[in-house]
Amino acid sequence: MSSALRHTPVAPGKIPRLLYIPAVIGLALLTLPILGMFLRVDWRTVPSAITSPEAVSALLLSLKTASLATVICLIVGIPLALVIARSSRRLGGVLRAVTTLPLVLPPLVGGIALLYLLGRNGLLGAVLDAGFGIRIPFTTAAVVIAQSFVALPFLVISVEGAFRTAGIRFESVAATLGAGRWTVFRRITLPLVTPGILAGTVLCFARALGEFGATALFAGNAAGVTRTMPLAIYTAFNGAGVSQDSAVALSLLLVVVAIVILLLMRSWRGAPQ
């Protein structure tokens, strides 16, 4: 009898009707602002605003730094995710909490923290400055570090979840077939979590692209060096006051870039199946 119950298909869409009201409000909260922005766009000024040298330089800087930050996150994030996933319950919990900290921290606080670590008088910054003459704050490197700091948790969390779901059963089988640890990692562990890695990469890149608070504090707002798209938008919006239209146009550009990347990732992910 229980097996009959188990196999009875549940008709889709049977949820309490009352729930549709908050669901629609939630959807509106997410889409209406963007729609409103599109409606406010002064389409005559868009071409000049987004082809202006400032806009192009900000966009290129954003793409460059966000891509670099994503690569760094992948290089350190996948091993970190694997370590967390294979840790004991207790240690794994601690590591997971530490990893998620930047996620719940306001980015501005992250910027201040980075400044106190890598600033000229910071813990590590003083050593770098005195020993090697390296100054990180207010450079493009600072932008990449700030973006990695805020984006890494997104990658680690989604990849770690994928590692845990995949489990170690396939790895054990591979070991009984004579595969060493590297072979297992390369040929079994990584391929099994590819969807998780792709999802994590998209989240990570999007977060890096939109990063503002930590960048503003730790890297500043120097045109061509640290002024990424979000900072350019803020500057345009806040600066002279006359160029609010160009701020909207730049926002539009950022939205389009984000959507294009999302679609590219989707199609790539869908291809192997």
Partner 1 sequence: MSGVAHTSVRAGTGQSAVGESPEREMIATVTEDEHAAALDASILVRRGDFVLDVRLRVEPGEIVALLGPNGCGKSTFLHAVAGLLPLESGTVTTAGRVLSHRDVGREGAKAGPGRSHPTVQVEPEHRGIGLLGQDPLLFPHLSAMENIAFGRRAQGVPKAAARRESLDWLQAVQLPEFSERRPAQLSGGQQQRVAIARALAAHPSLLLLDEPMAALDVQSAPQIRLLLREQLGRSGTAAVLVTHDVLDAIVLADRIVILDDGRIVDQGVTTEVLARPRNRFVADLVGVNLVTGVLASGELTATDPEGNTAMRLSDGRLLQGHASAGRVPARSRTGAPSEKSAEAPAGRPARAGGVVHGVFRPAAVRVERADVIREAPGSASAAPSSPGAPEAPRFLAVDNRWAATVIALEPVSGGIRIRTDDPAGILAELTAVEVAALDLEPGCCVHLSVAPGDVAIHPATP
Per the CB < 8 A criterion, the answer to whether 152 and 95 are in contact is no
Minimum distance from residue 213 beta carbon to partner 1 (Å): 39
Hey, which residues between 130 and 169 contact partner 1 (CB under 8 A)?
Answer: 169
- Stretch of 39-47, 143-151, 174-182, 239-247 contacting partner 1, by CB under 8 A: 174-182
Q: Tell me: does residue 126 bind partner 1 (CB under 8 A).
A: no
Q: Tell me: does residue 174 bind partner 1 (CB under 8 A).
A: yes
- Stretch of 99-107, 155-163, 182-190, 212-220 contacting partner 1, by CB under 8 A: 182-190
Minimum distance from residue 246 beta carbon to partner 1 (Å): 47
Q: Tell me: does residue 33 bind partner 1 (CB under 8 A).
A: no
Site string for partner 1, 184-203 (x = CB under 8 A): x--xx--xx-x---------
- Closer residue to partner 1 (CB): 191 or 224: 191
User: How many other β-carbons are positioned within 10 Å of the β-carbon of residue 243?
Assistant: 19
Task: State how far the Cα of 173 lies from the Cα of 9, in Å rounded to an integer.
Answer: 34
- Closer residue to partner 1 (CB): 33 or 191: 191
Give residues in contact with partner 1 (CB under 8 A).
Answer: 169-170, 172-181, 183-184, 187-188, 191-192, 194
